[in-house]
Amino acid sequence: MVPSPCALLFWTLHTAVHVCLADRSLKYVTLLYRHGDRSPVRTFPADPHQESAWPQGFGQLTQEGMKQHYELGQALRQRYQGFLSEDYSRYEISVRSTDYDRTLMSALANLAGIYPPNGSQVFDPSLRWQPIPVHTVPQDEERLLSFPLECPRYKVLMDETKQTDVFLNMTNTYKEFLEMVRNRTGLEKSTVESVWSVHDTLFCESRHNMTIPDWADADVMEKLRLLKNFGFNMMFGVYKREEKCRLQGGVLLNQILINISQHAAPESKERLKIMVYSAHDTTLVALQTALDVFNGLQPPYASCHMFELHLEDDGSFSVAMFYRNDSTKDPYPLTLPGCSQYCPLQDFMHLTKPVIPEDWKKECQVENSITDKAVILGLVLCACLLTICILILFMLLWRHHGPSSGYQHVINEADENS
């Protein structure tokens, strides 16, 4: 039987797809995800639901959050089936988290979904789980995953951002609304920057079937959401985006690219296949703003940004990015501006160079203003004058109490030991 033209076309396309897939092989993956559903990190004075209303207190992962990350782990297992071994191997995956309960617990729940124990790794037949390490550093030492990083120059940029037309216009437009929020919540002040916490608190409470105030209707929640997203955009982008990124998200991007480059090196003997970072919404925003792919919306719980290093059939390497922000859909591709979906590694490095810091500590420094220099010079002069006065006083006292014309008694060794 001779196949129809449609059948031939389908077979040709089907074969072509498999050939294309066969010509590109996955070599290394970096994942950055936000923690799962949590309780609010704080509340406002007039809120009837204070910290005692939450079983584990503020800022803690909920059971819903655990389920979200377990499901993400299962989705990652399916996506990288054949790339990852069926059994957990410490040589294949490394996980780092910020030192917060919610991010550490999210990573553990995620790993439970990726690596259910099999065969010899089962230590209790009634338990579909095995311990897998998650690494962290103390919060005050975190310089990679917690943003915004403390940086004097960044603070100057944020002060300048608050004087831009777009920021002032937004503040003026929502002036009465912000005042209403302040009055209703009992907060001392309500600003474009701080209002996100009000939305966060009400959002968490509504997700967990708690009664929210009558004034927080759909219109109010939408305005709070809009202002919250505006704050995210202002924090890392819009005004002097590249410089902000060099001081913030570019730090993490730099480390990710260093890891990717090491795996693409001709002499590479790297065995690690997946590097995982468990962090926060601000971490994702900082990174995606540095990549210029941020969609302007707060990343949802358990959202995941994926970097994939692929070896092409000609021996070159490419980097592809995907973003999973909806558990009901496959991750959608992200394309670095100026490049293709599977961006050649060298092009990826070149296009992101403007947001990669060369010397972060030096770039974070702020030059002293004229006023600061004058103050310092004044302090130095005062110190010099004080020193001179002390020397003069010492000399006068020395002359007044000079050595006497008599003789001094010398204590000999015998006198000392008596």
List helix spans (H) across 96-195: 101-114, 152-161, 165-173, 175-185
Check residue 205 and give its pLDDT.
97
For residue 66, CA distances in Å to 52, 202, 282 come to: 21, 21, 20
Rg of the chain over CA atoms, in angstroms? 31
Does residue 66 register a pLDDT over 60? yes
The answer to whether residue 52 sits within a structural domain is: yes
Check residue 370 and give its pLDDT.
43
Contact 101, 60 (CB under 8 A): yes
* Average pLDDT rounded to a whole number, residues 113-127: 95
User: Could you identify the residue written with the tokens 């920057």?
Assistant: 193
One-letter amino acid at 153 equals R
Q: What is the pLDDT of residues 226-278, one digit of tens each?
A: 999 999 999 999 899 999 999 999 999 999 999 999 999 988 888 999 999 99
Check residue 398 and give its pLDDT.
53
What b/e readout covers 189-210, taking b as 16+ CB neighbours within 10 angstroms?
ebebbbbbbbbbbbbbbeeeee
Contact 59, 101 (CB under 8 A): yes
The answer to whether residue 405 sits within a structural domain is: no
Count of CA atoms in the C-beta half-sphere (13 A) of 223: 18
User: Which residues have a Cβ under 8 Å from the Cβ of 348 and sit 6 or more positions away?
Assistant: 257, 318, 319, 336, 339
User: Which residues have a Cβ under 8 Å from the Cβ of 109 and sit 6 or more positions away?
Assistant: 36, 61, 65, 66, 67, 69, 70, 73
Q: What percent of the chain has pLDDT over 70?
A: 84
- Range in 141-150, 328-337, 400-409 the model is least confident about: 400-409
Does residue 411 register a pLDDT over 90? no
The answer to whether residue 385 sits within a structural domain is: no
Number of domains in the chain: 1
The answer to whether residue 337 sits within a structural domain is: yes
- Range in 62-76, 94-108, 265-279, 389-403 the model is least confident about: 389-403
Check residue 407 and give its pLDDT.
30
Query: Which two structure tokens, joined as six digits, stand for 31?
Result: 């994942």
State how far the Cα of 346 lies from the Cα of 225, in Å rounded to an integer: 38
The answer to whether residue 9 sits within a structural domain is: no
* Active site (catalytic) residues: 35, 281
State how far the Cα of 194 lies from the Cα of 214, in Å rounded to an integer: 21
State how far the Cα of 296 lies from the Cα of 356, in Å rounded to an integer: 21
The answer to whether residue 4 sits within a structural domain is: no
- Residue 344: how many CB atoms within 10 A of its CB? 15
Check residue 269 and give its pLDDT.
83
**CATH code assigned at 336:** 3.40.50.1240
Does residue 377 register a pLDDT over 60? no
Q: What is the pLDDT of residues 16-62, one digit of tens each?
A: 333 344 589 999 999 999 999 999 999 999 999 999 999 999 999 99
* Average pLDDT rounded to a whole number, residues 162-179: 96
Check residue 382 and give its pLDDT.
57
Does residue 208 register a pLDDT over 80? yes
| Reduced DSSP (H G I as helix, E B as strand, rest coil) percent helix, strand, coil of the chain, to 5 | 50, 10, 40
Check residue 123 and give its pLDDT.
95
For residue 275, CA distances in Å to 63, 91, 134, 240, 384 come to: 25, 11, 11, 30, 56
Check residue 325 and give its pLDDT.
97
- Range in 11-25, 55-69, 296-310 the model is least confident about: 11-25
Helix or strand or coil: residue 66?
helix
User: Could you identify the residue written with the tokens 């002293």?
Assistant: 368
Rounded to the nearest integer, the mean pLDDT of the chain is 88
Do the strands 274-279 and 317-324 form a parallel or antiparallel pair, or are they unpaired? unpaired
Does residue 340 register a pLDDT over 50? yes
* Average pLDDT rounded to a whole number, residues 340-356: 98
Check residue 266 and give its pLDDT.
86
The answer to whether residue 11 sits within a structural domain is: no
State how far the Cα of 208 lies from the Cα of 201, in Å rounded to an integer: 11
The answer to whether residue 384 sits within a structural domain is: no
Query: Which two structure tokens, joined as six digits, stand for 332?
Result: 């959608």
Provide the domain limits for residue 288: 27-360
User: Could you identify the residue written with the tokens 């004097």?
Assistant: 152
Do the strands 93-97 and 274-279 form a parallel or antiparallel pair, or are they unpaired? parallel
